[in-house]
Amino acid sequence: MENRSWSYTVEDVIKRMNKNTLSFDFPIQRESGQWDKEQKSLFIDTILNGYLVPEVYIIKEGTDDFCPMSVLDGKQRLTTIYDYYNDGFKLSKDLDPITVNDFSFDEEKNRIDNIKTYEVANKSFSQLDDSLKEIFKSFKINAKLLAGYTDEQVEEQFYRLNNGSTFTKAQKATVKLGTELAGKIKEIEENDFFVNRACFTNSQRKRGEITSCILQTLMLLTEYPYKNFGANEVLKFAEHFNENPDFKQVEYCKELFDQLFSILPYSEEIDKQLKKIHIPMLIMNLDALGALDEDNEITEDQYKDFLKRWFDVLNETSGYMDFCGSGSTSKSKVEGRVFAMDRELREYAIKVTGGNESNEDNEEEDSGLETAS
């Protein structure tokens, strides 16, 4: 491993970001936008006042200056700088004026102090005085350039850098997955289902709750011996999955989410019900669709009809909701939700196809519901 210190002006950083030669594509990083307006304002105020800021860590694929560069640590700082420079937000209304000493020298080289005060509260970058703009653009960001690191060493370095930060457990789970698996999970997060349909607040998305939801789904698909669906158990699964990766299951999970998006009836009322607690059950139900007996196989249109009925009434009348609410992350309630929805699917399939439910199915259903109770 090799590292060296370097410094870039804010203007240098912005130019690199504009040219896409400085990227933020490490999957183990948190999403952008973790800071609220007050945090972003304070950081910009720190730069304008000339206070020190922590150095950023950058991975280089080589040691030459022209080599590709990816930010390992410092994403929130650099993206905040970039957003502010492009008038992405205004500073807080509560910021104090900034005092700048624009000193000069006379012919005899005597220093002449020229102290000026500038208002910055509630101002975007373009609204700042020209002197402050120059101070901002010329501010130096200290960087540690890392080269020759393996993926495992990058993951370990990132974890150690952020060991004292306030990562949520869902965000820590992303780190525990490792770079390759985290990248695959990121692809699922970018699925149209999560982008356009799933009911997650902006706060939940920032905290990594979509990642947690996908990992819960994989816990079921891979038949991982989970104790519950809590955050600590998800974190343990992420570490286990990193040590025992199953990329075929991850790809299958991605395909199921693609299928769910294409087959799910569109309705604002349905979208409101697409919450974290229910999404893994929908995927497991879609998985169960492929396991129906040959006599009970239903068409895509029939399954759409089943889903519409499920959201309209069946989730209330099937006993499914008894397994939600308090203690919903317990294993018994997770299993209860899975079995209740699967039972309704089998009954619907028998009804529309005129098929028969096998004794084996009955035994499995009774066993599952007994376990869930």
What's the confidence (pLDDT) of residue 179? 84
User: CA-to-CA distance for 344 and 201, rounded, in angstroms?
Assistant: 30
What's the confidence (pLDDT) of residue 95? 87
DSSP letters, 234-303, are HHHHHHHHHHS--HHHHHHHHHHHHHHHHHSPP-HHHHHT--TTTHHHHHHHHHHHTTS-GGG---HHHH
User: CA-to-CA distance for 350 and 210, rounded, in angstroms?
Assistant: 34
The token pair that represents 345 in the structure block: 């699917």
What's the confidence (pLDDT) of residue 372? 43
Where in the chain are the domains?
1-165, 183-372
Q: Is the pTM of this model over 0.85?
A: no
What secondary structure letter does DSSP report for 326? T
C-alpha torsion angle, residues 67, 72, 76, 77 (rounded to 10): -60
What's the confidence (pLDDT) of residue 35? 83
Per-chain mean pLDDT for the chain? 85
What's the confidence (pLDDT) of residue 291? 83
C-alpha torsion angle, residues 166, 169, 175, 181 (rounded to 10): -150
User: CA-to-CA distance for 155 and 182, rounded, in angstroms?
Assistant: 11
Report whether 123 contacts 117 (CB < 8 A). Answer: no
Averages of pLDDT over each 10 residues, the chain, 373 residues? 84 91 72 80 93 87 63 89 95 89 71 82 95 94 83 72 67 85 93 94 84 96 94 91 94 96 93 94 94 85 95 93 86 95 94 68 45 40
Q: Which helix (H) or strand (E) holds 95?
A: none
What's the confidence (pLDDT) of residue 65? 55
Distance (Å) of CA 251 to CA 81, 187, 294: 36, 10, 25
The token pair that represents 65 in the structure block: 């200056």
Q: Rounded to 5, what percent of the chain is helix, strand, coil?
A: 55, 10, 35
Report whether 214 contacts 185 (CB < 8 A). Answer: yes
Using CB atoms within 10 A of its CB, is residue 2 exposed (0-12), middle (13-18) or buried (19+)?
exposed
Report whether 177 contacts 185 (CB < 8 A). Answer: yes
User: Tokens 């009804």 sit at which residue?
Assistant: 351
What's the confidence (pLDDT) of residue 338? 96
